[in-house]
Chain A
Amino acid sequence: MKYRLDINGVVRDVDVPRGTTLLEALRDDLGLVAARYGCGRGQCGACFVLADGRAVASCLIGVEQAAVYRIVTVEGLAEAGGDAVQRAFVEEDAMQCGYCTSGMLISATALLQRQAAPTADEIREALASNLCRCGVQLRAVRAVQRAAEERA
């Protein structure tokens, strides 16, 4: 089946089997691998993308459903207002293996676009859907605070 998607501000056509998830289309048909497979059930946040500015699990959305949204992945995050968050994660070294980092960047960008100056507790709540096994949670909270200050 052919679908037309709006990804990182560019119209992209894909031809994939019916029922293909947005995650699989991004990674295997569009060459955008920053959203990563973690569980396939929307429980870990590794595959998060922005859909009309909200953080959603791309493993749970079918391509057909994704066609109605403006989708942003980490590859297009800098142009979509996420550059301060990206810089802050580097400066705070808020990563170890980096596998979950894409999802955290998406959640943090979505948070700062709806709330310019969140408290530490609000950041923890907003990123609670992003699992991290390496344990960089405290650094990630500091990074989001740093990004908020830079954007202010």
Chain B
Amino acid sequence: MTIRADAPRIEDRIRLEPDGRVTVFSGKVEFGQGIRTAFAKVVAAELGIPIDRVTIVLGDTAQVPFDMGTFGSRSIAQDGEILRRAASAAKPLIAAGRPLEGPIPDDAPVSATPLAAEPRRVEARDIVTGAARFVADVRIDGMLRGAIARPPVRGARPATVDDRAAREMPGVVMVVRDGDLVGVVAERQAQAVAAAQALEIDWTAPAPSADDTISLPINEDAGVEAALAVSATRVAADYAMPYISNAPIGPSAAVADVRGDGATIYAGTQRPFGLRDEVAAATSLPVPSVRVIPLMPSGTYGRNSLGDCAIEAARLSKACGRPVLLQWSREEEFAHGPARPACALDIEAGTDANGLFTAWRYDEHTNAHGYGGSLDKARAPFTSGRNAVPPYLVPHLAVTLHIEPSPLRTASFRSLAAAENVFAIESLVDEIAFARGEDPLDLRLRNTNDPRLRAVLEAVAERSGWRGRTGSDGRGLGLACTLYAHGTYIAQVAEVFAAPNGRVRLGRFWCAIDPGRVIDANGIRNQCEGAIVQSASWTLLEELKQRGGRVASTGWDTYPIATFRDAPTEIDVHILSAAGEPPTGVGEPPGVPVAAAIANAVFAACGARVRELPITADRVRAARR
């Protein structure tokens, strides 16, 4: 399919079927965030037809127009708008019986047709009846199972491989060596895994990393130090977050069917076109002969920006000449899947006697965020430096991003660096308010003139009873907010209970969000609730333990995440829709202020200022005054 990014056309996006149904094409992919439903609602509303007359095709590289990938919470803002305008242009053509062809107009009025309230999710019925097909559910005639021999540590390479025992094991079809990849294909899953474990491999020690720290100024101001020096209130603090795992419930899986003249790949990828190119390179096939068909993986929160599992499956399939399903084990996913970067955040700010910010200096030390942990300097401020600039009026602002080498593979995790930056920024604001002896809500309101940020702050304060709060008996409320990268406004209040032994339990949680025009209110609520539970999990529980790149957390017993017992008791999501503003996005933003809201609530509950995540009972006890 031709790239027509600059001139999108109706025929690339909407097709009228002989039975009157409508098929819609998008390069975005669904992994549980609900865009298939949202797209169907947008198109159905514009065309004025029932939602069950609309079929959405997502990400199949043989059918959809080119797309960079599904990340950054951009699906609704970008493709949702293109599809809406395409449907708007298609409607009179359908009515006139004319072919659906022509340019998609740059602008189109929003249809007055109400968006369908039901179904809540178009895939729901299939999921609850077992009819849904995830990547690991694909079954093809002649398909084998793969397993990969993993090095003990990143970067180690196989020096010698003794496969005599493995080759004789039941069901084994082939031991595959392809460069540094050593794997097994077998008739059954358990056979492939057992044979891979029976390989005797001497691994070389990895070469020491040649990477240096890269420092990139995001905002420079030579006057910061002088302004800080004369500030009436000045607070400096260091915050830190550990490596965490994406920790999908289903480990990575892919099915590859590589033939002499082309390949078909079923994968849970966020970048179907990028993966197509990578598979073509890995199998020496021409790019147009490779078709990537995205299917639902388990939930993916950035991890599937990497095509690692699918590329391995393709190499195994090419070697044995048969389709191969490769599903990583739980241990592989923890030890060899990409981690969210660790960070050390050195931040300092001052106010004048009236509580107006005078100066702000921030040095963010982290590893490479973004797909593949790639170090693209031009994009770094939007990935590894996302939301490093505070959403407040600051006359003197210096922000520097330091990207350090990592012993682990790193990649995007929902919101990239925004989560770490907003943890530091919003914790510091709370510390400054305490130092000044004032309400942290007032400090925030005084230092912004953005009406939409003020609106979410005031809304969350009202719904949570912030003004009338009383702290006692280990109960506390904490406030945090952000203007997420692309324009979604969020403010949140967490309620926590801190026990005498330091253990923190979540109570209620309030979230006010302004994502512009609302497409799917239930979808927004579900994303907010999920992001809050997930972020509370890494705030309170998660740390991927490793030493020199050797990961020690390889199961749910050594890497606990929030369960039904740990979730907040209630989550109140209040949606503010700014009139006339285009839709932004909600997949990533609602998780961003959570850590600071909880940390600030812990401080309110028991006086413990915990600056390093996760907020464990030990850290709370140590920090309690």
Residues of chain A touching chain B, judged by Cβ–Cβ distance below 8 Å, are 16-17, 19-21, 24, 27-28, 31-34, 36-41, 43-44, 46, 73-75, 77-78, 86-87, 89-91, 93, 95-102, 105, 123-125, 127-141
Contact A137 B130 (CB under 8 A): no
- Cα of A40 to Cα of B124 in the assembled complex, Å: 26
Contact B526 A89 (CB under 8 A): no
Query: Which residues of B sit under 8 angstroms from A130, Cβ to Cβ?
Result: 564
Instruction: Please pick, from B34, B130, B301, B565, the residue contacting A75 in the complex, using a CB distance under 8 A.
Output: B130
Most buried by B among A27, A34, A40, A96: A96
- Chain B nearest CB from A92 CB (Å) reads 8
Task: Tell me the B23-37 residues at the A interface (CB within 8 Å).
Answer: 31-34
Which one, B147-155, B213-221, B441-449, B529-537, is touching chain A? B529-537
Indicate if B231 sits at the interface (CB-CB under 8 A): no
- Cα of A62 to Cα of B246 in the assembled complex, Å: 30
16 examples of A-B residue contacts, CB within 8 angstroms: A33-B130, A38-B250, A38-B298, A41-B555, A44-B330, A96-B34, A99-B249, A99-B250, A102-B130, A128-B564, A134-B32, A134-B530, A135-B529, A135-B567, A136-B530, A140-B564
Query: Which residues of B sit under 8 angstroms from A101, Cβ to Cβ?
Result: 127-128
Interface size class of B (residues with CB under 8 A): 35 or more
Task: Tell me the B127-154 residues at the A interface (CB within 8 Å).
Answer: 127-130, 132-134, 136-137, 139
Interface of A is mostly: loop
Query: Which residues of B sit under 8 angstroms from A96, Cβ to Cβ?
Result: 32-34, 299, 526-527, 530
- Select from chain B the residue with minimum beta-carbon distance to A92: B120
Most buried by B among A19, A46, A138, A141: A138
Most buried by A among B121, B296, B563: B563
Given contacts A39-B556, A89-B128, A133-B248, contact A97 B568 (CB under 8 A): no
Given contacts A38-B330, A90-B124, A98-B32, contact A141 B301 (CB under 8 A): no
Query: Which residues of B sit under 8 angstroms from A90, Cβ to Cβ?
Result: 119-121, 124-125, 128
Query: Which residues of A sit under 8 angstroms from B133, Cβ to Cβ?
Result: 33
Query: Which residues of B sit under 8 angstroms from A77, Cβ to Cβ?
Result: 129-130
CB-CB nearest 8 A-B residue pairs:
A97-B32, A34-B130, A135-B533, A135-B530, A97-B299, A96-B32, A98-B127, A93-B120
- Cα of A131 to Cα of B564 in the assembled complex, Å: 8
- Select from chain B the residue with minimum beta-carbon distance to A102: B130
Contact A128 B189 (CB under 8 A): no
- Cα of A78 to Cα of B125 in the assembled complex, Å: 12
Task: Tell me the B587-615 residues at the A interface (CB within 8 Å).
Answer: none
- Chain B nearest CB from A110 CB (Å) reads 15
Known A74-B130, A136-B526; 15 more pairs at CB < 8 Å: A16-B188, A33-B137, A39-B556, A40-B330, A44-B556, A46-B250, A75-B129, A89-B124, A90-B119, A95-B128, A96-B526, A98-B132, A99-B299, A101-B128, A138-B567
- Chain B nearest CB from A76 CB (Å) reads 9
- Cα of A111 to Cα of B22 in the assembled complex, Å: 42
Given contacts A99-B134, A133-B301, contact A138 B570 (CB under 8 A): yes
Contact B129 A74 (CB under 8 A): yes
Query: Which residues of A sit under 8 angstroms from B108, Cβ to Cβ?
Result: none
Instruction: Please pick, from A31, A32, A36, the residue contacting B134 in the complex, using a CB distance under 8 A.
Output: A36
Query: Which residues of A sit under 8 angstroms from B567, Cβ to Cβ?
Result: 124, 135, 137-138
Query: Which residues of A sit under 8 angstroms from B287, Cβ to Cβ?
Result: none
Indicate if B251 sits at the interface (CB-CB under 8 A): yes
Given contacts A40-B329, A96-B526, A127-B564, contact A135 B124 (CB under 8 A): no
- Chain B nearest CB from A73 CB (Å) reads 7
- Select from chain A the residue with minimum beta-carbon distance to B328: A37
Indicate if B483 sits at the interface (CB-CB under 8 A): no
Query: Which residues of B sit under 8 angstroms from A19, Cβ to Cβ?
Result: 190
Indicate if B522 sits at the interface (CB-CB under 8 A): yes
Query: Which residues of B sit under 8 angstroms from A28, Cβ to Cβ?
Result: 188-189
- Cα of A46 to Cα of B327 in the assembled complex, Å: 15
Given contacts A43-B557, A78-B129, contact A133 B299 (CB under 8 A): yes
- Select from chain A the residue with minimum beta-carbon distance to B189: A24
Indicate if B297 sits at the interface (CB-CB under 8 A): yes
Contact A95 B121 (CB under 8 A): yes
- Select from chain A the residue with minimum beta-carbon distance to B329: A40
Chain B 507-544 per-residue mask, 1 if CB under 8 angstroms from chain A, else 0: 00000000000000010001101111110010000000
Query: Which residues of A sit under 8 angstroms from B250, Cβ to Cβ?
Result: 36-38, 46, 99
Given contacts A90-B125, A133-B561, A136-B526, contact A97 B534 (CB under 8 A): no
- Cα of A11 to Cα of B565 in the assembled complex, Å: 38
- Select from chain B the residue with minimum beta-carbon distance to A19: B190
Indicate if B123 sits at the interface (CB-CB under 8 A): yes
- Cα of A93 to Cα of B124 in the assembled complex, Å: 7
- Chain A nearest CB from B216 CB (Å) reads 32
Query: Which residues of B sit under 8 angstroms from A136, Cβ to Cβ?
Result: 526, 529-530, 533
Query: Which residues of A sit under 8 angstroms from B132, Cβ to Cβ?
Result: 98
Contact A100 B249 (CB under 8 A): yes
Indicate if B77 sits at the interface (CB-CB under 8 A): no
Contact B249 A93 (CB under 8 A): no
Query: Which residues of A sit under 8 angstroms from B34, Cβ to Cβ?
Result: 96
Contact B299 A138 (CB under 8 A): no
Contact A133 B534 (CB under 8 A): yes
- Select from chain A the residue with minimum beta-carbon distance to B533: A135
Contact B571 A138 (CB under 8 A): yes
- Chain A nearest CB from B266 CB (Å) reads 14
Instruction: Please pick, from B124, B527, B562, the residue contacting A95 in the complex, using a CB distance under 8 A.
Output: B124
- Cα of A129 to Cα of B241 in the assembled complex, Å: 27
- Chain B nearest CB from A49 CB (Å) reads 11
Instruction: Please pick, from B188, B296, B563, B571, the residue contacting A24 in the complex, using a CB distance under 8 A.
Output: B188
- Cα of A20 to Cα of B139 in the assembled complex, Å: 19
Query: Which residues of B sit under 8 angstroms from A36, Cβ to Cβ?
Result: 134, 136, 250
Indicate if B286 sits at the interface (CB-CB under 8 A): no
- Chain A nearest CB from B595 CB (Å) reads 15
Contact A138 B120 (CB under 8 A): no
